[in-house]
Chains A and B, each alone.
Chain A
Amino acid sequence: MTAYRRIVIEHFRRPRNRGALPGANRSADGANPLCGDRIRVQLLVSDGVIVDARFTADACALCIASASLLTEHVRGLTSDDITVLDAAWISASLEGEPPPGRQKCALLPLDTLRRALA
């Protein structure tokens, strides 16, 4: 099994930060309209810093793994820090490139988190 597959499966089966975030002051919903992935990212932001981040999703393994990794990473970051995150960062975190046609699944959590911060 490749590292990419191992990471995706590990985070899908044991997602970090899955569930509602009580006291969240930022939230956004995201969807991939054709494949049906649905995600909500909730944040607790204080003085411009992300103190906590959680997500709820009815989504594929790749999307959930990406959300799991992302919510682990963003604690302590500012909006400016988030702007540098991109598809390459996600691939690096997953230790592999999502297959063609699945980029949207991997990017949905990041897009949604950005909208929560906007």
Chain B
Amino acid sequence: MSDLVLEALANSAEDLVVQATLVSATGSSSKKIGAKMLVGASGKLLGGVTIGGCIDAQVIEAGDALIAEGGRRLLDISLDDDEAWEIGLTCGGNIEVLMERVSPTDRADPTLTAHAAVRDALEADRAVVVVTSLDGPRRSLAIDENGTRTGTLGDVASDDAVLAVATDVLSSASRSEMVTTPSGERRFFFERYAPPTTVVIVGAGQIAMSLTRFARELDMRTIVIDGRERYATRERFPDADEIRIGMPSEIVASIQTGKRVAVVLVSHDYKYELPVLRALLRSPLGYLGMLGSKKRGVAVRDLLREEGFTDDELSRIRTPIGLDLGGKSSPEVALSILAELVAVRSGKRA
């Protein structure tokens, strides 16, 4: 959603737009940190920083005011609601929403400059962190994973001071944090943008069908691979980004691997598992999992070990695959696989 908001802001025909960004949340938040809403001078809205209702209404009101007055605000909103509390319909907590008025036609605007850096990085398949000061003047600094910096937080010393946190956020998730700078303790919002995870699914069975459905909800790309034309069809996989039929080991070898690529073997058939693992075990991947019991995993590893793969290489195969959620049906197994993938991606599981 945030990516869509960036595009909308860049292409906005509005003279003035307020960008609202969820920068912190205590208690339970219905949206991910970094969720955005645009409030246009014409009254148009895009996105949301909460699930809706009275909270988004407060953000819209503040946005309308900011359009007229200019500048920026950090809204601190309580999610407590006395009446809702009485009937058990609130979770409580606080959220902070950074409101910034942006002129879409002003290409020197720090928000737009940072957004342009984000778009460039994403197009080149790189992650980037945008650091925005939550106190003091409105400034943003984009730090690309390749080391490129765009914009500034005021001076080089401040830009250097946020580097350690920004580097950590590149491989984790957006967050707000206090940082010691030469001008004292300052609070920044570190917002991570990364190209989507690509899930390569080998085996076009029932679990794969559920995987493609759920992955779409999680903004992940999916590539379904099988040697069987009657299985790997668009009719069975309407949500897949790509469907590829052929020799699975050759197809996976042709895919650009990297830390944002996850490979999930759900064919449950050694005829695909062994060749695909041979093709991938020495490639960089963010995740490599194989459906099957622990015993089966040992047997597959033993066969590959005989062929010269090392224990380190073989330890990359996650099998049994997925978090143990107790489910047995195909959608439940797919859910457990994606749950593990998300846990690995966010650093919650090694």
Residues of A within 8 A of B (CB): 13, 29, 31, 33-38, 40, 56-61, 63
Contact B271 A34 (CB under 8 A): no
Determine, out of B33-41, B190-198, B243-251, the stretch whose residues face the partner at the interface: B243-251
Contact A36 B227 (CB under 8 A): yes
Instruction: Write the chain B residue with the least CB distance to A59.
Output: B271
Residues of B within 8 A of A (CB): 226-231, 246-250, 267, 269-272, 275-276, 303, 306
On whether A36 and B228 interact (CB within 8 A), knowing A13-B303, A58-B275, A59-B271, the answer reads yes
C-alpha gap A65/B269 in the complex (Å): 17
Measured between beta carbons, the chain B residues less than 8 angstroms from A36 are 226-228, 231, 267, 269, 271-272
Contact A38 B247 (CB under 8 A): yes
Contact pick for B271, options A13, A29, A56, A58, CB 8 Å: A58
Contact B248 A58 (CB under 8 A): yes
Measured between beta carbons, the chain A residues less than 8 angstroms from B267 are 36
Contact B247 A33 (CB under 8 A): no
User: Given contacts A38-B247, A58-B275, could you give 6 more A-B pairs where the C-beta distance is less than 8 Å?
Assistant: A13-B303, A34-B228, A35-B228, A38-B246, A56-B250, A58-B272
A-B contact pairs, 5 of them (CB 8 A): A13-B303, A13-B306, A29-B247, A36-B231, A61-B270
Interface centre among B227, B249, B250, B272 (most CB of A within 10 A): B227
C-alpha gap A27/B210 in the complex (Å): 37
Instruction: Write the chain B residue with the least CB distance to A63.
Output: B271
Measured between beta carbons, the chain B residues less than 8 angstroms from A40 are 247
Contact B271 A33 (CB under 8 A): no
Contact B271 A60 (CB under 8 A): yes
Instruction: Write the chain B residue with the least CB distance to A56.
Output: B247
Measured between beta carbons, the chain B residues less than 8 angstroms from A29 are 247
On whether A58 and B249 interact (CB within 8 A), knowing A13-B303, A13-B306, A36-B272, the answer reads yes
Measured between beta carbons, the chain B residues less than 8 angstroms from A58 are 227, 247-250, 271-272, 275-276
